[in-house]
Amino acid sequence: FMTPIKLFFAWLQNEEFIIKNPCSSIKPVKEPKREKKPLNEEQVEMLRDCMLSRRDRAILEFFLSTGCRVAEVGNVKVSDLDMTHKTLLVIGKGNKERRVYFTERCKRAILNYLREREEQGIISEYLFCSSKAPKKKSINTEPYNKLNNRGYQVIVDKMQKMANIEMRITPHTFRHTMATFALRSGMAPECIQQILGHNDVGLTLRVYAKVAQTDVEYAYRKLVS
């Protein structure tokens, strides 16, 4: 609200219509940061119950089980996956490598997706790629484009709409959900720190260990009869 007014008075001063800008000492009002809310268990199941494609189901489970950032998921290659031990190495912020893990449910979803992809002749070294053929003539030999950040958000928007969930969901929501569920289940913050790729455990605690009222009720319903 104040920015156009401050710019106007700054222009007046620059053009020498006024001597002093009356807004020069006014500091901008910081907008409060919106609390990042995780999905609850019911919402996660609502997403899983949707009639998702095999690719989108694999994307959902991969985000929920690994806690990876969207940019990290975009660079994961099929060859990076260790299906036997359900783990992989990802390159995070600062070009740092870390190990993340995925669930048996995620493994099955990925295998189903890769099997379907092979049957459809979709070629890509990346784990998740576009379902649209490349804009080249030799579609059977040209690799399909990997999904970018915008592509993942479009898919998540579709999931949200199909599940009829009112809250805004982004790929980062799944990362936050994974960490919140892990904390509730008793995982040590130091372990969550390693999985998420935070530089120190203090950041993990500040971001994820703030007990919201919903968590208080969750603990009460679970422990008090």
Question: CATH no. for residue 46?
Answer: 1.10.443.10
Return the number of other C-beta atoms located less than 10 Å from residue 95's C-beta: 6
The percentage of residues in the chain with a pLDDT greater than 90, rounded to a whole number, is 55
Q: Is the pLDDT of residue 200 over 80?
A: no
- Residue 122 included in any domain: yes
User: What six digits make up the tokens of 57?
Assistant: 């189901």
- Residues 99 and 7 occupy one common structural domain: no
Listed range (52-66, 120-134, 138-152, 165-179) with the worst mean pLDDT:
138-152
Q: Are residues 195 and 217 part of one domain?
A: yes
Is the domain of 17 the same as that of 101?
no
pLDDT value for 97: 93
Judged against a pLDDT cut of 50, whether residue 1 lies above it is answered with no
Contact 189, 209 (CB under 8 A): yes
pLDDT digits (tens, 9 = 90+) for 52-109: 999 999 999 999 999 999 999 999 999 999 999 999 999 988 889 999 999 999 999 9
* pLDDT bucket at 137, cuts 50 / 70 / 90: low
- pLDDT for 75: 95
Domain that holds residue 147: 41-223
Q: Are 84 and 20 within one domain?
A: no
Together in a domain, 134 and 181: yes
Burial of 106 (0-12, 13-18, 19+ CB in 10 A): buried
The total number of structural domains that make up the chain: 2
Say if residue 22 is in the same domain as residue 84. no
Give the residue-averaged pLDDT of 120-142.
80
Asked, for residue 217, whether it belongs to a domain, the answer is yes
Least confident of 35-49, 128-142, 146-160: 128-142
C-alpha 40/C-alpha 181 separation (Å) is: 9
The answer on 81 and 1 residing in a single domain is no
The per-residue pLDDT for 162 is: 97
Residues 18 and 48 in one domain: no
pLDDT at 140: 54
Residue 143 domain flag: yes
Residue type, position 175, single letter: R
Please check whether residues 113 and 23 belong to one and the same domain.
no
Q: What confidence tens digit (pLDDT) does each residue in 176-198 have?
A: 999 988 888 888 888 888 999 98
Q: Is 35's pLDDT higher than 90?
A: no
pLDDT at residue 28 in the model: 63
* The two structure tokens encoding residue 63: 């985000």
pTM tops 0.85: no
Is 36 inside a domain boundary? no
Q: Are residues 79 and 155 in the same domain?
A: yes
Q: Is the pLDDT of residue 211 over 60?
A: no
Cβ-contact 70, 76 below 8 angstroms: no
